[in-house]
Amino acid sequence: DAKTTQPTSMDCAEGRAANLPCNHSTISGNEYVYWYRQIHSQGPQYIIHGLKNNETNEMASLIITEDRKSSTLILPHATLRDTAVYYCIVGKGDTGRRALTFGSGTRLQVQP
């Protein structure tokens, strides 16, 4: 699986958009980008995933660059409950059937 690089920490004001970047320059053609988050010692929670196209769901949007070497997770209106560690994971499709490789993630602090 491709390695990912994320900033260690970020701050965001409540109500503003939080943009979390991830570099995955060694991603291969059949690898997806997945985002999970872990809110203070709870079990990780799936957020979104994508292959080439930008994706949006009720939680977030995922923007993947055309060369697929980086991506950005966007939380459009961050709330205090979005304070968490966010993990960008790259792997072949169907990680529902494979181990997830968690890196260090980005610790997002949403400020009131």
Which residues form the interface with other proteins (CB under 8 A)? 32, 34, 38, 41-46, 49, 87, 93-105
| Complex with other proteins: residue 18 or 91, whichever CB lies closer | 91
Residue 50 and residue 68 in contact, taking contact as beta carbons nearer than 8 Å: no
In DSSP terms, 10 is beta-bridged to 108
Residue 87 and residue 37 in contact, taking contact as beta carbons nearer than 8 Å: yes
The token pair that represents 57 in the structure block: 């769901």
Please state, as a whole number, how many other Cβ atoms lie within 10 Å of the Cβ of residue 58: 5
Name the minimum Å distance from CB 112 to other proteins.
Answer: 25
Name the minimum Å distance from CB 87 to other proteins.
Answer: 8
Name the minimum Å distance from CB 3 to other proteins.
Answer: 13
The token pair that represents 104 in the structure block: 């260090």
| Complex with other proteins: residue 19 or 38, whichever CB lies closer | 38
| Complex with other proteins: residue 18 or 50, whichever CB lies closer | 50
The token pair that represents 105 in the structure block: 């993630």
| Complex with other proteins: residue 42 or 67, whichever CB lies closer | 42
